Amino acid sequence: MYVKKLDEFYGVTVYALYPNQFMLEGSRGLGRQSYVSSLAKWLVMGILSSQSLFKILTLSRLLLLPEIKYGSGLKGPTSSLSARTLDDLALCRARAFYTIHKEVFSPREVLDMEESKKLGKDFVSSLKHEFSTQSNLNKALNTIMLFREEERYQLLYEGLSGYITCKPDATLILMLRNGLLRVLVVEVAETDVIAVLSSKHIIPRLVLYMSAIYLHYGIPPAGLYVSLSPASEPPALLFLPRGRVSKRLISMLEEVKNLIKLERPPLPGKKITCSHCVYLHKCQYRE
Ligand code: SF4
């Protein structure tokens, strides 16, 4: 695995994770399902044995946001606000408003979405399988201690009534060779890594997940975003907290608070692409 430092967003340093030549050649021409299995195998191999990744994970800091507190445990009320609202907000303010008021503005069904969710679940199963089969390799720098799928964590944010629900695709606790513990928060989607970096969506949500999981386990976290698109280069990003409060994340949460109080959708706020939006059929601002 080749690791390249990219930039800093929302108080986390972003690293690109590239496969080695062997994996690249092995994945050429594979069908979607086989590609996903091969991606999981490569990632697990890299996480367990990459010297550079081991050093980076050692540097992971706490992720404390004083305005955010841990909720009432793993199981909480399902009527709470989903952390996914931050994805909508990063793309369009009107879209975030519709998601917050989803009892009035129900999203349309998107046919590809079910297939995409299934592919994500298949990837997480492959990841789990690879961890259980590769964890005992003699040369491993890290060892997997725990693997959880789709666990729900609840956060409380100052002035927001109700919980913010965080539900990462997978949560792993790793023990590094030097005895340090690290939590890896994994999120999977088909969105290309370049699109994630340019629109900055998914990243604030992942930072929120990391903060929830830090508050739950008390172990320094790192985030992993994996794109299931074979065209994505690189296929994965690692997010490492720098220990500082992200003011941008707080201002996004403040904006969510304001959107809750509004009765009408606000202006989108920036140039947007509406064609894939799930609220296209209801939105007065669609282009
Ligand atoms: S249709 Fe366009 S303007 Fe309306 S919510 Fe969706 S992305 Fe925003």
Q: What whole-number distance in Å separates Cα of residue 224 and Cα of residue 95?
A: 25
| Ligand 1 and 268: CB distance under 6 A | yes
Say which residues have a Cβ less than 8 Å from residue 221's Cβ, sequence separation at least 6.
60, 63, 182, 183, 184, 185, 210, 211, 213, 214, 241
Contact (Cβ atoms closer than 8 angstroms) between residue 88 and residue 202: no
> For the chain, where are the alpha helices, taking DSSP H only?
21-27, 32-49, 51-58, 85-91, 93-100, 111-134, 193-199, 203-217, 247-261
Choice among 75-84, 157-166, 200-209, 234-243 with the minimum mean pLDDT: 75-84
Decide: 100 in ligand 1 pocket, CB within 6 A. Answer: no
Lowest mean pLDDT among 45-54, 75-84, 214-223: 75-84
How far is Cα 13 from Cα 55, in angstroms, rounded to an integer?
14
Between 162 and 211, whose confidence is greater?
Answer: 211
* pLDDT score recorded for residue 5: 95
Q: What is the pLDDT of residue 73?
A: 53
107: CA distance to ligand 1 center in Å?
Answer: 11
Q: Is 97 in the pocket of ligand 1 (CB under 6 A)?
A: no
For residue range 248-263, what is the model confidence (pLDDT) as tens digits?
A: 889 999 999 999 999 9
Q: What are the structure tokens assigned to 189, written together?
A: 């989607």
How distant, in Å, are the alpha carbons of 11, 197, 200, 244 from that of 8?
A: 7, 11, 11, 12
Question: How do residues 124-180 score in pLDDT, each as one tens digit?
Answer: 999 999 988 887 665 678 888 888 888 889 888 888 878 899 999 999 999 998 999
Burial 266-284 (b: 16+ CB within 10 A, else e): eebeeebebeebbbeeebe
> How much of the chain, in percent, has pLDDT values that exceed 90?
48
Name the amino acid, one letter, at 236.
A
Q: Are strands 68-70 and 164-166 parallel, antiparallel or unpaired?
A: unpaired
Q: Is the CB of 92 under 6 A from ligand 1?
A: yes
Residue 188 has a pLDDT of 96
Query: Letter for the amino acid at 65?
Result: L
Percent of the chain with pLDDT over 70: 93
Instruction: For ligand 1, say whether the CB of 278 is within 6 Å of any of its atoms.
Output: no
pLDDT above 80: residue 189: yes
Between helix 93-100 and helix 247-261 the angle, nearest 10°, is 60
Q: What Å distances lie between residue 149 and 100, 127, 261, CA to CA? A: 25, 10, 34
- Atom index in ligand 1 nearest the CA of residue 287 equals 2
* pLDDT given at position 228: 93
Q: Residues 61-80: pLDDT tens digits?
A: 777 777 888 876 545 444 58
Chain centroid to CA 231: 19
The pLDDT-based confidence of 244 (bands split at 50, 70, 90) is: low
Give me the pLDDT at residue 9, please: 85
User: Which one has a higher pLDDT value, 7 or 23?
Assistant: 7
Q: What value does the mean pLDDT of the chain take?
A: 87
Does any ligand 1 atom lie closer than 6 A to the CB of residue 214? Answer: no
- Return the pLDDT at 139: 63
Q: Cα of 186 to ligand 1 centre, how many Å?
A: 28
Give the number of residues written for the chain: 287
Q: For the full predicted model, state whether its pTM sits above 0.85.
A: yes
The pLDDT of residue 71 is 74
